[in-house]
Amino acid sequence: MVMVTRKIGTISPTVSASDKVGISRSTWLRSLAVSSAAIFLIFKSISIAPIFSPSTDVGTMSKKTPIVTASKGFKWENISPSKELLYHDCFGKLQCARLEVPLDYKRTDGKGLKVAVALIRQPAKVPVTDPRYGGAVIIEPGGPGGSGVDQLLRAGSEIQSIVSSHIEPEIASFNSENKYYDIIGFDPRGVNNTTPGVRCFPDALVAQNWKLQSETIGIFGSTPGALPRLWERSQALSRGCSEALMEEVNGERVAEHLNTIPVVEDMVHMIERHGQWREKQALATQDAYAQVYGTETTKAMLDRTKWSKGKEMLYYWGFSYGTVIGTTFAAMHPERVARVVVDGVVDADDHYHGTKANNLWDADSILSQFFIYCSEAGPAKCSFYTPGGPKAIQAIYDELISNIYKHPVVVPGSATHGPEIITWSDIKSVQSPSLYQPLHRFPHFSMLLSDLVTGNGSKFAEYKQHKYGPICSAADCGSEHNTCSPGHLPLATPEAYSAILCTDSSRLGDVSKEEFEAYVQRMTNQSASFGAVWAHNRLGCVGWNVTAKWSLNHSIAAIKTAHPVIFIGNTFDPVTPIRNAHKMSSQFPGSVVIEHRAEGHCSLAAPSLCTMRHIRNYFQTGATPTSDDGSSGASCETDLKPLVDAVPNEWSSYPESIDVLAFAHSEAELQDIRDLKILLRASKRFAESSVAI
């Protein structure tokens, strides 16, 4: 046990004004959270409906909330790739397709290898023939290597609710301006269900063993020997994986076509084929439509749904690395921009031509906010609380970090966990995702820190050992008598990350061991809380020997897009500082910036009705926000603070009827409540699946 001289759980004195933070929200919302929780408990006690209440077991908290990742009778491999969008029912009420596109867009003979892009569609609340049908919004979760299919399965309904009209179509006028959108998620090249994929291990068991070995070594700075050993392991992994992907097949190499530029062209194919599909859907129903609405209205419907060959427009919401895809698309095809929101903005020029050395300017500010919020929240909401204000809490943290670096915590085995050693690297590793998603992860982070100070480390040991479930070496091991999971590789693999990132920027891997050591020190100087962890992202490029067949050698910018782009940046983002949003916006005339006044990565890290309304209005009307002084852009407060405004998980799952029964004061307030619930669900699911940029 690490000895730290303080007590946790005593009552805090009044927090001084200097200890509080300026990120505020409507005062009614705080009472709303309390009232909603109370009402939920009342409804739960009288058993109106069964409601899921997550366990507080440490092992359970360390796992992602399970989602439906398979549909009975549905397998991606059973869908034959097609040049048109041919949808198949999947995952309940969703639709899936595999779109065939060229591996090499520069090859003109039509005989080259093909890529089968996996797409999943959440249908709009109205058919394409309805004048209120807005089109299809493509979403991309980031990474690189993140799965858009997975993101839609987790949060597709919530994203659809944000961009579509808040008025149900049954209530809205048939000829109204309310718009309802399809949501389409896709797996970029090399990722998840898209083929060919990036696979550097024979199965998931081997991959997990490799990862566990790396964790045993620790992160950079944990020991003097960590960097040399991790460097050598990266050489072994990256060289073998890139060489396998560089094997020539019919004169082509897959690895040369996994970068972002071909993905942009895949998206052009997607929106064009969606236009073709839309037209066919309308033509198939025109006779029945005419019987109901008449000839003239039917003609207008066919004109509205006609495929605009070569001119279909993009509707898009991309997060993190997804902003690189979005801005690259806008630079290459500015005439096709209808609605593009880029959220958690990467400096695309640095992505393609830099060294990932300017990302962490605000990371330490988020850790500082943890101490401030913990002090404000008090012992009831922050397990790591101690009296004396944020500086006193930070002092305990600093002492813990210093002590555990020299003396790891020894945790004997018990009935609930095996023997374990808790190290400096372990704290840094759990701290990093907390900086990404403070609202959802600060409470857990606080509890684990407290366990190391006042407990015996057993909770941390359970968390550490429950991160990974049992995995078999072969897919057929998952019989009903076997508790291990099949040996399928995870949805977002570090190898796909490297294949995309390192092919986008060859500079990242063109570095000596001494130069890389200097890079690690530079990042640690930039952020003491996150620098050593962040440097591992670039490490994956060491030994990656691939040059993209098609790349851009100029700045990512456009003279003018067909419609303005919206850039969203959080005030304190651990890896995409707000300065990126302003810098990239300056390269797209007419674009605007929304500053989301929160901590964390991307706007969904912290619910804000203000930000949500701007996004919805943009997709509904095309209007970009303006500030009170008439300048372009907006600054939006968030509605909940980490730790301080901790809301029970049940808040995002209680029955819809509670809205009407409890808060029918005004329609506007009622809509605020409904929208906040949507944001909370989206935020929670985004936190569960967020992928590092």
pLDDT digits 0-9 by tens, 146-166:
999 999 999 999 999 999 999
Confidence at residue 533, expressed as pLDDT on a 0 to 100 scale: 95
- pLDDT for res 594: 98
CA-to-CA dists, residue 588 to 162, 273, 536, 668, angstroms: 25, 27, 32, 35
- Rounded to an integer, what distance in angstroms lies between the CA atom of residue 263 and that of residue 242? 19
For residue 386, give both structure tokens.
């101690």
The rounded Cα 690 to chain-centroid distance in angstroms is 3
The mean predicted confidence, pLDDT, of the chain is 86
The beta-strand segments (E) located in 175-307 are 180-186
Where does the pLDDT of residue 37 fall: very low under 50, low under 70, confident under 90, or very high at 90 and above? very low
* Residue 360 · residue 533 · CB < 8 Å: no
- Are the beta carbons of 189 and 257 closer than 8 angstroms? yes
DSSP-based three-state secondary structure for 272: helix
What is d(CA 58, CA 49) in angstroms, rounded to the nearest whole number? 27
3 state DSSP class of 641: coil
> For 87-120, what is each residue's pLDDT tens digit?
999 999 999 999 999 999 999 888 899 999 999 9
pLDDT class of 72 with cuts at 50, 70, 90: low
Mean pLDDT of 374-384: 97
How confident is the model over 395-435, as pLDDT tens digits? 999 999 999 999 999 999 999 899 999 999 999 999 999 99
Choose between 689 and 282: higher pLDDT. 282
Task: Provide the pairing of β-strand 409-411 with 420-422.
Answer: antiparallel
| Least trusted range by pLDDT, from 64-68, 528-532, 559-563 | 64-68
Using the Cα atoms of residue 334, residue 600, residue 433 and residue 63 in order, give the sign of their dihedral: negative
- Residue in 151, 134, 129, 175 with CA at minimum distance from that of residue 619: 134
Reported confidence tier of residue 471, pLDDT bands at 50, 70, 90: low
pLDDT value of residue 646: 61
pLDDT exceeds cutoff 70 at 29: no
The pLDDT, as a whole number, for residue 494 is 76
Is the pLDDT score of 302 beyond 50? yes
Residues 354-365: pLDDT tens digits?
A: 999 999 999 999
Residue 46: the pLDDT is 28
How many percent of the chain have pLDDT more than 90? 74
Instruction: Tell me what the mean pLDDT of segment 231-243 comes to.
Output: 94
Which of 647, 570, 637 shows the shortest CA–CA distance to 603? 570
> Which H/E stretch holds residue 374?
helix 363-377
Checking if the pLDDT of 479 tops 50, the result is no
SS3 (DSSP) at 419: coil
* Confidence band for 62, pLDDT divided at 50, 70 and 90: very low
Beta bridge partners of 89: 95
d(CA 194, CA 156) in angstroms, rounded, equals 19
- For the chain, how far is it from start to end, CA to CA, in angstroms? 35
Q: Is the model's pLDDT at 9 over the cut of 50?
A: no
**Cα 432 to Cα 420: distance, rounded to the nearest angstrom:** 21
For the ranges 64-68, 69-73, 301-305, 535-539, the lowest mean pLDDT is seen at 64-68
Q: What is the pLDDT of residue 493?
A: 67
At 39 the pLDDT is: 36
What is the structure's pLDDT at 474? 53
pLDDT in tens, 646-671: 665 544 444 343 444 454 468 888 88
How many CA atoms are closer than 13 Å to the CA of 634, on its beta-carbon side? Answer: 20
Range 42-50 contact pairs with CB under 8 angstroms and sequence separation of 24 or more: 43/654, 43/655, 43/658, 44/650, 44/654, 48/655, 48/657, 49/655
What is the per-residue pLDDT across 436-451, written as a single tens digit (0 to 9) for each?
999 999 999 999 999 9
Residue 332: is it exposed, middle or buried by C-beta count within 10 angstroms (0-12/13-18/19+)?
middle
Mean per-residue pLDDT for 226-247?
94
Residue 663 CB neighbour total at 10 angstroms:
17
Cis peptide before 196 (omega within 30 of 0): yes
582 vs 12, residue with greater confidence: 582
Residue type, 679: L
Over residues 578-591, the pLDDT tens digits come to 999 999 999 999 99
CA 497-498-500 angle, 5° bins: 70
Q: What value does the mean pLDDT take over residues 515-519?
A: 97
pLDDT tier at 690, thresholds 50, 70, 90: low
Whether this model's pTM surpasses 0.85: yes
The pLDDT score that the predictor gives to residue 606 is: 96
For every residue of 273-320, which 3-state class applies, written as one string? HHHHHHHHHHHHCHHHHHHHHCHHHHHHHHHHHCCCCCCCCEEEEEEC
Give the start-to-end residue ranges of the domains of the chain.
Answer: 204-255+470-504+510-539
Percentage of the chain modeled with pLDDT above 70: 83
SS3 state at 196: coil
pLDDT the model gives residue 18: 33
**How buried is 250 (Cβ within 10 angstroms: 0-12 exposed, 13-18 middle, 19+ buried)?**
exposed
Q: Within the chain, how many helices (H) and strands (E) appear? A: 22, 12
Find, among 138, 102, 475, the residue nearest to 252 by Cα: 102
Longest dimension (CA), the chain: 82
* Confidence check: pLDDT of 193 > 60: yes
Which pLDDT belongs to residue 458?
Answer: 95
Does position 225 have pLDDT exceeding 60, yes or no? Answer: yes
Contacts of 316 (CB under 8 A, 6+ apart): 137, 138, 139, 140, 267, 326, 329, 339, 340, 341
Confidence tier at 473 by pLDDT (50, 70, 90): low
Per-residue confidence (pLDDT) for residue 59, from 0 to 100:
34
